[in-house]
């Protein structure tokens, strides 16, 4: 079974600063995928970034990068140059081998202040 | 805009009633997933369909059922509704039934059972 742990219920950051949202995972699968989603107050789930377990490079998408440390089973999301519009809930999720369902963490609420 | 559509956006109904939630996947995507987001359970996988066939089942109650039609749209039927069924129901889609595919989420249907 897969498990995702997000230990930061809330994070605060000032505009233009970088912030790291923590995510650790547990799985016995050799092949798996890790995802980050953003959920603004409007409710939709917005896909941000994906990292495969066999990818050697850390994934990056614009201001988002995923700091993947396989041995430590961590997949932290780094947002560079935070913007006010980044204020939202952020969910880490994973998918195991042969299973397409996503298992989600409990989320981290990020608040970006001016 | 993820390309996944869900209707209705909001639904208010009474206990004991039955409702149908509808989802149209992104063009070309064959897999549809249903998730439930509630305050006490977080984001939970309910069920997956791939090209019209049920592929995986999660924590879906017996009172709930789903299907995927030949045009690939999907419906989630919730019956004998209880107060605890109040939640945000998401549909997501991906191109395949397996493999390293991202899942793109629809805007969700917010169900309130009174």
Share the mean pLDDT of chain B: 93
pLDDT of residue A109: 97
The pLDDT value recorded for residue A113 is 97
- Whether residue B113 contacts residue B11, with contact meaning beta carbons closer than 8 Å, is answered with no
The residue in chain A having the minimum alpha-carbon distance to the alpha carbon of residue B6 is A44
CA distance B86 to chain A (A): 15
Q: How many CB pairs under 8 A join A and B?
A: 58
Rounded-to-10 torsion of CA A79, B45, A74, A37: -10
Question: Cβ separation of A43 and B110 shorter than 8 Å?
Answer: yes
pLDDT in tens, A42-85: 999 999 999 999 988 999 999 999 999 999 999 999 999 999 99
* Average pLDDT of the residues of chain A: 94
Distance CA B36, CA B32 (A): 14
Confidence of residue B65 (pLDDT cuts 50, 70, 90): very high
Does residue B42 belong to the interface with chain A, where contact is any CB pair within 8 Å? yes
Residue A109, min C-alpha distance to chain B (Å): 14
Say yes or no for a CB contact (<8 Å) between A102 and B35. Answer: yes
Which tokens belong to B86? 């109040």
Q: Can you spell out the DSSP letters for A25-91?
A: EE---SS-EEEEEEE-TT---EEEEEEETT-SSPPEETTEEEEEETTTTEEEEEE-S--GGG-EEEE
Chain A residue with Cα closest to B57: A101
Cβ–Cβ gap A35/B103 under 8 Å:
yes
A43 touches chain B (CB under 8 A): yes
């Amino acid at each position: 079974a897969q498990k995702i742990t997000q230990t930061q219920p809330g994070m605060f950051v000032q505009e233009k600063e970088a912030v790291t949202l923590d995510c650790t995972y547990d799985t016995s699968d050799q092949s798996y995928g890790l995802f980050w989603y953003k959920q603004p107050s409007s409710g939709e789930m917005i896909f941000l970034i994906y990292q495969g377990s066999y990818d050697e490079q850390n994934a990056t998408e614009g201001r988002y990068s995923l700091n993947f440390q396989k041995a430590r089973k961590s997949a932290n999301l780094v947002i560079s140059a935070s913007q006010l519009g980044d204020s939202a809930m952020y969910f880490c999720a994973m998918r195991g081998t042969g299973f397409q369902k996503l298992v989600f963490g409990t989320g981290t609420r990020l608040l970006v202040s001016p | 805009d993820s390309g996944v559509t869900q209707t209705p956006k909001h639904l208010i109904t009474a206990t004991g009633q039955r409702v149908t939630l509808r989802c149209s996947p992104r063009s070309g995507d064959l897999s549809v997933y249903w998730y439930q987001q509630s305050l006490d359970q977080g984001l939970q996988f309910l069920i997956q369909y791939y090209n019209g066939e049920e592929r995986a089942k999660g924590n879906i109650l017996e009172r709930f059922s789903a299907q995927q039609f030949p045009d690939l749209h999907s419906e989630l039927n919730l019956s004998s509704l209880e107060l605890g069924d109040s939640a945000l129901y998401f549909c997501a889609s991906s191109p395949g039934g397996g493999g390293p595919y991202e899942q793109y989420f629809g805007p969700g249907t917010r169900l309130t059972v009174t």
